[in-house]
Amino acid sequence: MGNWSLFKAIISYEGINRVEKFEYPKDAVREALLNAIAHKDYSGGVPIQISVYSDKIIFWNEGQLPENWTVKNLLEKHASRPYNPDIANALFRSGYIESWGRGTLKIIRECNQAGIPDPIFSYESSDISVEFRKDIYNEKYLNTLNLNDRQVKAVLFVKDKGKITNREYQEINNTSDRTASRDLENLVTLSILNRIGEKKGAYYQLKLGGYGG
């Protein structure tokens, strides 16, 4: 589980020490793979599938959630009920699994700490998947969308502060109400921001799922 050749890393240095920051948090990806192994239905003979795209990576496998469970159970504290308890126990004893019933919460926590969107867990019939998405709200990517400098600055402001109002847009860009309104509505049209509320009480937040979502 040490081959990370599929994942790009940003290289930086702290003093003389080389630091690698991967596009997706390694511990979260590792946990997703371990979960797929421990919860897979091996009777069908279908292999675990890992699909790598330019903006996301998806882990899929055949398996079953415990009876009466939904994806919601995975997003909160829950008991450990692996589909393959013997495999899960072997992974635990070998040190690959650190604790029971914490895998999905660890995945979410690692994504939050890495500054990428929350993972998407899906379950339908016997299909279980988890989708990791890149952080598209960065200056390099935003500059590929033909946004003006004001809009790029505003999106980065929202990423840092959580939201922005028309007045805040005017202040950080030293621009008029009319220009701010036009720029913000354009960001809504591009599915980069969501408008919340009406008139003077309105504010804007990042759109879940990101550009084009």
Paired tokens of 148: 């003006």
Paired tokens of 200: 């003077």
Q: Give the separation between CA 25 and CA 170, rounded to whole angstroms.
A: 36
Q: What is the mean pLDDT of each run of 10 residues along the chain (213 residues)?
A: 57 73 85 86 88 88 80 74 77 73 81 82 87 83 88 92 94 96 95 87 78 45
**In this predicted structure, what is the pLDDT of residue 195?**
93
**In this predicted structure, what is the pLDDT of residue 10?**
63
**In this predicted structure, what is the pLDDT of residue 4?**
53
**In this predicted structure, what is the pLDDT of residue 213?**
43
**In this predicted structure, what is the pLDDT of residue 46?**
87
Q: Give the separation between CA 47 and CA 58, rounded to whole angstroms.
A: 14
Q: Give the separation between CA 85 and CA 70, rounded to whole angstroms.
A: 20
Q: Cα-flanking dihedrals φ and ψ of residue 124, to 5°? A: -150, 120
**In this predicted structure, what is the pLDDT of residue 212?**
45
CATH no., domain 25-133: 3.30.565.60
- With beta carbons less than 8 A apart as the criterion, state whether 118 and 105 touch: no
Domain covering 139-206, topology: Arc Repressor Mutant, subunit A (1.10.10)
Every domain range in the chain assigned CATH 3.30.565.60: 25-133
SS3 sequence of the chain: CCCCCCCCEEEEEECCEEEEEECCCHHHHHHHHHHHHHHECHHHCCCCEEEECCCEEEEEEEECCCCCCCHHHHCCCCCCCCCCHHHHHHHHHCCCCCCCCCHHHHHHHHHHHHCCCCCEEEEECCEEEEEEECCCCCHHHHCCCCCCHHHHHHHHHHHHHCCECHHHHHHHHCCCHHHHHHHHHHHHHCCCEEEECCHHHCEEEECCCCCCC
**In this predicted structure, what is the pLDDT of residue 3?**
53
Q: Give the separation between CA 187 and CA 211, rounded to whole angstroms.
A: 9
Every domain range in the chain assigned CATH 1.10.10.10: 139-206
- With beta carbons less than 8 A apart as the criterion, state whether 39 and 84 touch: yes
**In this predicted structure, what is the pLDDT of residue 179?**
97
Instruction: Specify the long-range contacts of residues 171-174, CB closer than 8 Å, at least 24 apart.
Output: none
